[in-house]
């Protein structure tokens, strides 16, 4: 519900499943009823149901909590029996007894009449869920929301563990290293610029982090093999690998005729370099039945962003490898996560002045998502815009195509790719002003 609230406006109608029947009562009603019944004479050996005479569907409960959370509600609740009926021919054998089919989604009813009669003189009754749903949500959000203890959870997840971050000398990699180092992780930073790496190492060490650095061009197989040997000879085995190093090119396909090298270069940096390093550390992780590999991808893979065909293709390849590896290694104790980040204000996007008009994630905000992936180890982690794009693309791919087509028209190529010096058309400026609160 909280994620829906962050991803979608409250007025957006949703479609959901009504679900089965549940019976809910607040704990203070149960306590008051137990106290009352325990002191009534002549009830020894009797049994009473402390239940609500009105039960709810799961979808109704979720809608009440969504209302309390100011989140979008499911305006259309599909009855499971209707879904079963639609799929009956394919899923239920012809010889299935009709009596069994009638039991699908059959509610359980508790007779609480005697308990209600005994509790009525003391005015003890079950309040309707709508009256106290806001209290449940308020308590959860103030006391139990995992984000309230994000720093403590991160410390528990990484304290004393070894974390390797590629592309760790700036941007997302550096911001992630700062947070992970502050939480007690042993940090290994890998990047091409050895001088810059030493500066970062000194900075993090001064803040109390345990940091090692290794200057390496991951697109060179021999350099990666040297890094893998160095890791194997280290005192502490690698626990978490964050494949963050990457490069982007914003160039339309029609401006890429004769530029196959752009596609090859991005595949080398964004895909093959990450896969080569991952393959090198997996034997150690599987031998210990423990490890976590995080692949930093892009929201562009989910939105099919125009003018980023080469970049999105390389990141999509990395995602496909990561998802396949997740299935192959999950039973062997190694977890894999894809993080789909929107545009982040890093040195990589700085040359594109058009992005000055948009709200981009800061490296620190992106690092929060990376750290969340470290803690929760989901299969995929994205922002609200990314999840919304997935839903739209699944339900109406023609809408995605139309939006990307209009984006291609409004936002020309970069100047390096032959675009105008001022790459913001009037329509693009109006679009940017309209969507100031969305991260791209």
The residues that are catalytic are 311
From CA 427, how far away is CA 132, in angstroms rounded?
A: 47
Tokens describing residue 364: 């620190």
**Strands 21-22 and 56-57: what pairing?**
antiparallel
DSSP string of 352-386, one letter each residue: -GGGGGSB-B-HHHHHHHHHHHHHH--SEEE-HHH
What are the C-alpha distances in Å from 383 to residues 34, 121, 179, 353, 366?
46, 53, 19, 23, 10
Residue 67, φ and ψ in degrees, nearest 5: -60, -45
What does the longest C-alpha to C-alpha distance in the chain come to?
93
Contacts for 342-349: CB closer than 8 Å, 24+ residues apart: 342/298, 342/299, 342/383, 342/385, 342/386, 342/439, 342/440, 343/299, 343/439, 343/440, 344/171, 344/172, 346/170, 346/171, 346/172, 347/170, 347/171, 348/171, 348/246, 348/247, 348/248, 349/248
Answer whether 373's CB lies under 8 Å from 385's CB: no
From CA 5, how far away is CA 9, in angstroms rounded?
A: 7
Residue at token pair 């992970």: 180
């Amino acid at each position: 519900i909280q994620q829906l609230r962050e991803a979608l406006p409250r007025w957006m109608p949703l479609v959901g499943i009504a679900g089965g029947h549940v019976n809910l009562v607040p704990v203070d009603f149960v306590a008051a009823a137990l106290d009352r019944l325990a002191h009534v004479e002549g009830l020894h050996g009797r049994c009473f149901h402390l239940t609500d005479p009105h039960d709810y569907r799961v979808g109704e409960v979720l809608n009440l909590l969504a209302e309390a959370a100011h989140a979008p509600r499911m305006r259309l609740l599909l009855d499971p029996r209707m879904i079963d009926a639609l799929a009956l021919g394919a899923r239920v054998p012809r010889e299935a007894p009709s009596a069994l089919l009638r039991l699908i989604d059959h509610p359980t009813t508790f007779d609480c009449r005697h308990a209600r009669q005994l509790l009525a003189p003391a005015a003890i009754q079950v309040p309707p869920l709508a009256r106290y749903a806001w209290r449940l949500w308020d308590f959860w959000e103030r006391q139990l929301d995992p984000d309230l203890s994000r720093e403590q959870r991160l410390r528990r997840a990484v304290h004393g563990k070894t974390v390797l971050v590629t592309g760790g000398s700036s941007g997302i990699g550096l911001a992630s290293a700062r947070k992970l180092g502050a939480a007690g992780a042993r940090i290994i930073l890998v990047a091409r610029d050895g001088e810059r790496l030493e500066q970062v190492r000194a900075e993090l060490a001064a803040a109390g982090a345990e940091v090692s650095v290794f200057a390496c061009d991951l697109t060179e197989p021999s350099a990666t093999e040297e890094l893998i040997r160095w890791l194997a000879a280290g005192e502490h085995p690698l626990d978490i690998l964050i494949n963050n190093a990457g490069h982007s090119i914003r160039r339309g396909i029609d401006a890429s005729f004769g530029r196959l090298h752009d596609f090859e270069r991005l595949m080398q940096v964004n895909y093959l370099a990450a896969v080569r390093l991952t393959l090198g550390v997996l034997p150690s992780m599987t031998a210990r039945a423990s490890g976590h590999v995080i692949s930093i991808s892009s929201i562009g893979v989910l939105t099919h962003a125009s003018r980023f065909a080469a970049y999105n293709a390389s990141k999509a390849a990395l995602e496909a490898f990561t998802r396949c590896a997740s299935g192959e290694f999950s039973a062997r104790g190694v977890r894999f996560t894809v993080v789909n980040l929107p545009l982040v204000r890093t040195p990589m996007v700085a040359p594109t002045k058009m992005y000055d008009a948009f709200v981009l994630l800061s490296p620190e905000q992106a690092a929060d998502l990376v750290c969340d992936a470290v803690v929760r180890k989901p299969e995929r982690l994205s922002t609200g815009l990314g999840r919304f794009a997935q839903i739209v693309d699944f339900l109406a791919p023609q809408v995605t195509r139309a939006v990307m087509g209009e984006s291609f028209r409004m936002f020309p190529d970069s100047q390096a790719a032959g675009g105008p010096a001022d790459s913001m058309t009037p329509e693009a400026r109006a679009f940017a002003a309209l969507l100031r609160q969305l991260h791209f």
